Structures are given as C-alpha cells and as structure tokens.
Amino acid sequence: MRGVVYTGLITAGLDRILPLLLDASGLVKLIGSLPVLIKPNLVEPLPPPITTPTGLVSLLIDYLQTRLPGQPILIGEGTGALEHDTFHCFHELGYTDLARQKGVDLIDLNEEKLIRKEDAICQRWPHLYLPRLLDEVFLLSVPVLKAHTLAKVTLTMKNMMGCVPPRHYQGNGAWGKSAFHTRIHAAIFDLNRYRTPDLTLLDASVGMAQAHLRGPTCNPPVNRLAASTDPVAIDSYGATLLGRDWRTIDHIRLAHGVLGDGEKITLHEIT
C-alpha cells in the first residue's frame, strides 16, 4: 500500500520481529506463485553494516520456506567492482555457505540475459538494459541503512543499481556502474521507473551515519527493521532514521508522487 511502512525495534529479537513485520505486510499473498529474488546490498566484500548480513537473509529464507514450501528462492546481486565478480562477494560475505545450507540459488545479476527497455518519459535513461529475470520474479530488496557520499542515502531505490550490467554502464569510470554517477539522482529515479522492488525489508539495525563504504556507524545503533511495498515511503523513512530530510534527497523527491509517497506515511509499529 502506498505510504505504509511497518517497523519494529529488534531489541526483543530479530527472529521475533521479522515474521511479524512480514505477516503485517501481507508478503505471502503478494508473492503468489512467483519465484522470489532476494536482492541484498553487497556492493563490496565488506562486512555489515556496510553490507546486508547473512543472518537477516537466513531468517527471511526460513520464513519463505515455511510459508511457501517448494517455491523457488534466489539470491541475486551484481557487484560494481572491476577486480572481482559477484561470486567473490557471495563467498567472502558468507552467502555461498548460506545458499548451500538453505538450498537456494545464487545469481550474478551482472551476467544474466538482458532485455532492452524503453520509456520516452525517462530523461536520464530513455532506454535501459536490465536482466530479463527481473520480469519473472517477486523482487524482495534487503538494503541496509546507509548514508552515501554522492546520493546522500543508499536505501532501496539505490539498491536497484546492483541490477544493471557493467558492460553497459561502466562508462569511462573505474567502477563497473560509473555511468550512474553522472546525474546520479535522475539515474536512480529512472532506473526505478523501469523496475522497483515489490517489497523492501530495510535492515536499520545499525546504520552507516556518513558514508556507504567507511566511516562512523550510527551511535546509538538504530535497532530497527522496516518493511514496505512503497519504495518512496521506505526510503523517506530511512532518510529520517539517518536524520535527513527526504525532500533534500533528489531521487526520493523525484519519485514522490510517481512511484510512491514520501510525505503521507502511515507508520505501523510492530511489537
């Protein structure tokens, strides 16, 4: 639902609050019979809270396998690093072991078959290449709460940059998706016009206070988990948790009223 965010403190236990949040969001009904693609933020092989922890994804998989037995579950990411592939990140961050234990597949989104999408309304990306797989799954984004040096925040809408292929978006930069650094807010907004998460589970257990790859964490830790089908609402809420006004973050402001609602948010506190 537009503008609705479910949130709860994790001090009582992540294993307790996560199923309550997902039940409240109606996740099982939303998924239906679709395969589920879990999209964490594994931008680099750096430990949480810079990246999405395996503990949270493990509990999420348990939830899905209990309520939707036999339904295909995938974990997909596409690193922007040029010196290694996504499977290096999976291995270093514990996702290779997790996938083996849970019987789920790992997908390098950088190497998936692509489809060329076009939309004349998009000013930054009037056409965009994305994995065909994204049209065939329920996309469950699991970002972590982080500030960002260029985009101001990196939450669920920016997490979608892991889906774009470096062979089309490296540009002339030293990072696999450097083309997105030009007019970054418009680039993020247009990307999400083509495909935005079906549901977001935001890990705000700690939070990166000033930057996305280094620097201080939130002090005290935020200690929250949040879920929403509205990418604008969850990003607006996440910005607030970082002490930032979403109206000053251009990609959220651009998406407000188009992809969701950043202003009229209804918070449901789950206890």
Element (H, E) at 9: strand 4-9
Say how far apart CA 246 and CA 5 lie, in whole Å: 15
The pTM score is: 0.97
User: Residue type at 158?
Assistant: K
3-state helix, strand, coil in the chain (%, to 5): 35, 25, 40
Q: 238 exposed, middle or buried (CB, 10 Å; 0-12, 13-18, 19+)? A: buried
- The β-bridge partners of 146 are 154, 208
Element (H, E) at 205: strand 199-208
Residue-level pLDDT, tens digit, the chain, 271 residues: 899 999 999 998 999 999 999 999 999 999 999 999 999 999 999 999 999 999 999 999 999 999 999 999 999 999 999 899 999 999 999 999 999 999 999 999 999 999 999 999 999 999 999 999 999 999 999 999 999 999 999 999 999 999 999 999 998 888 999 999 999 999 999 999 999 999 999 999 999 999 999 999 999 999 999 999 999 999 999 999 999 999 999 999 999 999 999 999 999 999 9
Residues 6+ apart with CB under 8 A from 91: none
Q: Which of 92, 90, 65, 68 is nearest to 78 (CA)?
A: 90
Say how far apart CA 191 and CA 49 lie, in whole Å: 25
Say how many domains are in the chain. 1
Element (H, E) at 105: strand 105-108
CATH code where residue 200 lies: 3.40.50.11440
Say how far apart CA 126 and CA 112 lie, in whole Å: 21
Q: Dig out the tokens for 164 from the structure.
A: 């774009």
Report CA-CA distances (Å) from 100 to 32, 57, 141, 159, 176. 25, 13, 21, 24, 28
Q: Which domain holds residue 262?
A: 4-269
